[in-house]
Structure 1
Amino acid sequence: TAEKEFRRAQTLLKDQIISEKDFEQIRLRYETARNAFDAQASRVSAAGIAVTSPISGYLKSRMVGQGEYVSVGQPLAIVSQNKRLQLKAEIPEKYFSELKEIRSANFKPAYGRTVYKLSDLNGRLLSFGKASADDTPYIPVIFEFNNAGDIVPGAFAEIFLLSRSMEEVISVPVTALSEEQGLYFVYLQQHDDAYKKQEVALGLNNGERVQVVAGLKPGDKVVTHGVYQVKLAATSSIIPEGHSHNH
């Protein structure tokens, strides 16, 4: 340590084994180390010492546990900046012929309700497999995107693959749907203060909007927000004002 080196240098100087110049350099190193130690010691509390990462990012792994002793130079943790993440979708083999139509994707992490759009995150399609792996009947499709700051690396997600746009279809926001025993319903606005519960059959889904293949016609107005409140009110025959939208 710097202190041992300094004590040894004092003895060597007395015996004229080292020069005054060499001793002064050792003394300066010792003073620098002692000042750094004193600064760290002032931060020690009953809970230990606070360690600050030299970079911003996410704690990927911790290499020491609570209360463990550490030595100089021992790694404590791995911090990852994760500026770019990858999104991996696994597609059943039967859809192999359609993979070339994929352009982008939306996804919803399993730990939240937010739907992220790769188009908003500077995302792009990296690659897709030409065949399934030996141990699985699925074909991987890989995307890359910027981390929005609240996306957990390694988390599972529901992925909505996007291909070419569809014309002349009826769709509603996901928020317009209510589910009962596997069936889906929307609330049609019949006039200012009257709504009708309407069963619908669903098609494709991009995470934000869902295709309706039966149950609605062009021009129908449906409640898009506050569906749960309308559903509750329907059981008591009191229908509150909802937010409707033309489709």
Structure 2
Amino acid sequence: MKTRKIGFGAFAGLVLAAGLSGCGGTGEAAESEPPEAASARVISVEVEPVQLAAFTEFVRIVGNVAANRDVTISAEESGVVRQLYVDKGAHVRAGQPIARIDDQVLRAQMERATAQFRLAEETWERQRRLWEDEKIGSEINYLNAKYNAQTAKASANELRARMERTVVRSPISGVLDARMVEVGSMVSPGAPVARVVDTETVKVSGGLPERYAADVTRGSEMRVGFDALGSTEFMGKVQFVGATLNEQSRTIPIEVTVPNSGGVIRPGMVANLQVARRATEGAILVPQQAVLRRENGYVVYVAVDRDGGTVAEVRDVIPGVSESGRVVIEQGLQPGDRVVTVGQQQVSAGDRLRIVNG
């Protein structure tokens, strides 16, 4: 019985010793194994080297196109429209007849006034010879005859002028854009007959923000574009700059005239106006999408060579004005810096970069 107990104790001691020995061997092996190196993140990007370039800042405003001259022609005499000379859409010259109003009544009145004038003139001539040459008659008869002749002449001239006004004429050269009457229509003085627009030159009206008041003056040249006409641009000249400010919009009214010999610019179109405000030589320009907004300002990522590779470095920058998708960097970059322009949203400072555009 005693022998059994000794054997069990010895066996247990051997098992315990073997377990401790095994644990100790495992710990030493773990300590002697070298640590695994962490894998570095590699981001594929495109870069653009910073270069000095000329930059022009433009003032941009939106305007509306109107005809240089837009005239609604009204009747000056009453009567029935007897004849129309021009169709809508046709070109007319200044002074060209557009319509004719019935003139029968006026014609009869003019013929009577003309006859009365001839009689009064003949009477005056005879009375003048009698009084001035032979001193026959009285001075009052002489003066009455003179007055009657002058009055009759004025009446005849008035009716002749009214007769001429029965023919409605265009006061300007342009296009007959609308016609408000037809043959047989009854019109009275002041009734609209037709509308003529002159689009050889068009007028663009817009509002200039007050901060640019010193940059645009009468005679300034402006580039004018239209969304409806694609990339075609026209040159215009500022003909009017308002003397007062619109208090609601804080803008100054301006008018720009634009030659339109081809007739492609139509009244009612929306125009994009721009005028050069400031030109800078040797500006640092980067694509606008390369500049990222952060809580404390703006940054760009720059590719720099370090430790045998290319890594991303973040730069705080101060952006200036922008133009056509590019922005001037006032501070933070130097010529030769390689700015990340594609992939910058996925980049963090210290990331390794793979430049895919060479």
Q: If the TM-score is normalised by the length of the shorter chain, which range does it land in?
A: 0.3 to 0.5
The structure richer in strand per residue is 2
Q: TM-score, normalised by structure 2?
A: 0.31
Please tell me whether Structure 1 or Structure 2 has the larger radius of gyration of its CA atoms: 2
The structure richer in helix per residue is 2
Higher relative contact order (CA 8 A, sep 6+): 2
Q: TM-score, normalised by structure 1?
A: 0.42
